[in-house]
Amino acid sequence: MKLLFLLGLGLVSPVLAAPTHITLLHLNDVYEYASVDDGRKGSFARLETLRRQAVAANPNTLFLFSGDTLSPSVASSFFRGRQMIEMWNAIHLDVATLGNHEFDFGPEVLRQRMGESHFPWLAANVRDRAGGSFARMPEYVMRDVGGVKVGIFGLLTPDTGETSNCGSEVVFRDPVEAARLLVPRLRSQGAQVVVALTHLSLADDKRLAREVSVDLILGGHEHEPSESLVGATPIFKWGSDARILGKVDLQVDGGRIVEMDWQGLSVGRSVASEAGVTRLAAHYEEQLARQLDEPLVKVAVELEGRSSVCRQQETNLGNLVADAMREQTGADCALITGSSIRVDRVVPAGVLTRRQAMMILPYENGVVKVRLSGRELLAVVEHSLSVLGADSNSFPQVSRLRIRYDPARLPGQRVLQLQVAGQPVRPEADYTFACSEFIRKGGCGYEMLPQAKLLVEPHDAPAEGVALIEYLHHHKVVSPRLEGRIQTVTGPEHTV
């Protein structure tokens, strides 16, 4: 694609000197260092091949990243994002902005990862509680690229304070307000090209383009590739997990962009894997294989994981899994279908390994948080109990919910009593609810959930297995038990 910037209504005057050609390589939201989609796409080893080709074609090349890489992934649950920093260092990343998932392991771990990085992290709207820069992070960098001064600044979505593990010490300012103050400083210091490296919603990127004079926005946060133009400011995002490498070519003349081309380079099997990065990935894969079999937590009791039981009644393993989902999201209550628990056996008391935890919840479904009214929450629970028996796909395992139901009643009328945190559910009250993204999208017939307000977006959500591992990581011993969270009642009872 090509965009020409022609100033005024007349012809552009010819110039004697050739414009300066600058190439910007760009990625966002990369969680896996190896290939994805059964090997068809991605991998840092392929990225390094493409980067080298781009630099050979144009030495005036910068490699930029728009955040979200330290988490979530199975590997990050072991290495706390250290493996991703080593990979970015290996492929010579130039500049990154923080994503919300950079805070998943807390500010102190993030500081460690930033200290290990061979490249600067940016986020002009992230401060510490005292008003200073978080982790002494610069608001921007200025790079001389072929004689052109390129100013790059970073912005992070303020929702990070709610969706990640920032604690009370990190403060987020409005990103557009931060940019409005910063960009004139960049221009006054001689920046001829100003690039916003953002981890924002597309709506906020568009607001930034409308309200602040930037030349280009390279964004992240959403996981779908997108291209937008607001006024004269293009916005690009390239999906997730390095399936596509963005390449933006600028022609800069007289201190202004006069021409722009862009394309998404497929990071597929046709791209050769660079040998050094391949060896580094193999090193981590070997460590990961060993660590999957290392102890995670001591289980003081047997865990009931048989599919026929989890699909028909409360189980202690179901309680453990639902508690992990609720705690990871901070929701009022949580529900996971018994059919999502796949280990299909009684897990003996003793040491539980990370591999066993992944076998309990092997799916890649994210754990999201939504807002429901009491009436909507009741509809979710009624649907969960609409089909009963060993083949049920929707029977619930729950956290901070107490359900009394009559299996003899008609579907949709079975719930006799429903409580959240020991209090009766009020139809007009609001509750936050954690569940898998699969049922949130309407899977297993949960047609009432796609309309619910999302509080944790799917791309911000840890996978079910990762949420369980993170929960267990903070405990030395677990001993979940049956608590009467789901009770069968027969005979006359008052309904909800």
Q: How many domains does the chain have?
A: 2
Q: What tokens were used for 415?
A: 């719930």
Residue 170: inside a domain: yes
Q: What percent of the chain has pLDDT over 70?
A: 96
DSSP state, residue 479: -
The single residue listed with the structure tokens 């992944």 is 358
Residue 196: inside a domain: yes
Burial state string for 178-199 with b = 16 or more CB within 10 A and e = fewer than 16? bbeebbeebeeeebbbbbbbbb
Q: What is the pTM of this model?
A: 0.74
Q: Which is higher by pLDDT, 176 or 496?
A: 176
Q: Are residues 38 and 145 in the same domain?
A: yes
At residue 12 the predicted structure's pLDDT band, cuts being 50, 70 and 90, is: very low
Q: Are residues 198 and 74 in the same domain?
A: yes
Q: Are residues 305 and 273 in the same domain?
A: no
Residue 476: inside a domain: yes
Q: Above 60 in pLDDT, residue 7?
A: no
Tens of pLDDT along 391-428?
Answer: 898 999 999 999 999 999 999 999 999 999 999 999 99
Q: Are residues 115 and 226 in the same domain?
A: yes
Mapped onto helix, strand or coil, the DSSP state of residue 237 is: strand
Query: So what's the pLDDT on residue 215?
Result: 98
369, 432 Cβ separation under 8 angstroms: yes
Q: Are residues 224 and 317 in the same domain?
A: no
Residue after which a domain boundary falls, among 261, 288, 315: 288
At residue 492 the predicted structure's pLDDT band, cuts being 50, 70 and 90, is: low
Q: Are residues 32 and 140 in the same domain?
A: yes
Q: Are residues 98 and 6 in the same domain?
A: yes
Q: Are residues 97 and 224 in the same domain?
A: yes
Kindly give, in sequence order, each residue whose CB lies less than 8 Å from that of residue 273, ignoring residues fewer than 6 positions away: 43, 45, 46, 49
Query: So what's the pLDDT on residue 10?
Result: 37
Give CA–CA dist 126/321, Å, rounded. 34
Kindly give, in sequence order, each residue whose CB lies less than 8 Å from that of residue 179, ignoring residues fewer than 6 positions away: 124, 125, 153, 155, 196, 208, 212, 214
**Continuous segment of H or E residues that includes residue 370:** strand 367-373
Identify the CATH number of the domain in which residue 49 sits: 3.60.21.10
Residue after which a domain boundary falls, among 266, 288, 310: 288
Give just the sign of the alpha carbon dihedral 363, 67, 197, 181. Answer: positive
At residue 13 the predicted structure's pLDDT band, cuts being 50, 70 and 90, is: very low
Domain holding 71, by residue range, is 2-288
Q: Are residues 483 and 402 in the same domain?
A: yes
Query: So what's the pLDDT on residue 289?
Result: 87
Give CA–CA dist 460/6, Å, rounded. 40
Give CA–CA dist 138/199, Å, rounded. 16
Q: Above 80 in pLDDT, residue 162?
A: no
> What is the full DSSP assignment across 190-230?
T-SEEEEEEES-HHHHHHHHHHS--SEEE--SSSS-EEEEE
Q: Are residues 270 and 415 in the same domain?
A: no
Tens of pLDDT along 221-265?
Answer: 988 899 999 999 999 999 999 999 999 999 999 999 999 999 999
Lowest mean pLDDT among 2-11, 205-214, 363-372: 2-11
Residue 197: inside a domain: yes
Q: What tokens were used for 7?
A: 């100033």
Q: What percent of the chain has pLDDT over 90?
A: 78
Lowest mean pLDDT among 333-337, 343-347, 425-429: 343-347
Query: So what's the pLDDT on residue 306?
Result: 92
Residue 54: inside a domain: yes
Query: So what's the pLDDT on residue 292?
Result: 85
Give CA–CA dist 74/61, Å, rounded. 32
Give CA–CA dist 188/35, Å, rounded. 43
Residue 495: inside a domain: no
Q: Are residues 416 and 433 in the same domain?
A: yes
Mapped onto helix, strand or coil, the DSSP state of residue 244 is: strand
Query: So what's the pLDDT on residue 149?
Result: 98
Identify the CATH number of the domain in which residue 474 sits: 3.90.780.10
Mean pLDDT of 143-157: 97
Give CA–CA dist 47/180, Å, rounded. 34
At residue 491 the predicted structure's pLDDT band, cuts being 50, 70 and 90, is: low
The single residue listed with the structure tokens 């200290």 is 115
Tens of pLDDT along 43-70?
Answer: 999 999 999 999 999 999 999 999 999 9
Give CA–CA dist 284/262, Å, rounded. 34
Q: Are residues 284 and 339 in the same domain?
A: no
Query: So what's the pLDDT on residue 266?
Result: 98
The single residue listed with the structure tokens 């990762």 is 466
Query: So what's the pLDDT on residue 2?
Result: 66
Residue 496: inside a domain: no
Residue after which a domain boundary falls, among 229, 260, 288: 288
At residue 3 the predicted structure's pLDDT band, cuts being 50, 70 and 90, is: low
Residue 494: inside a domain: no
Lowest mean pLDDT among 68-72, 171-175, 201-205: 68-72
Q: Above 50 in pLDDT, residue 22?
A: yes
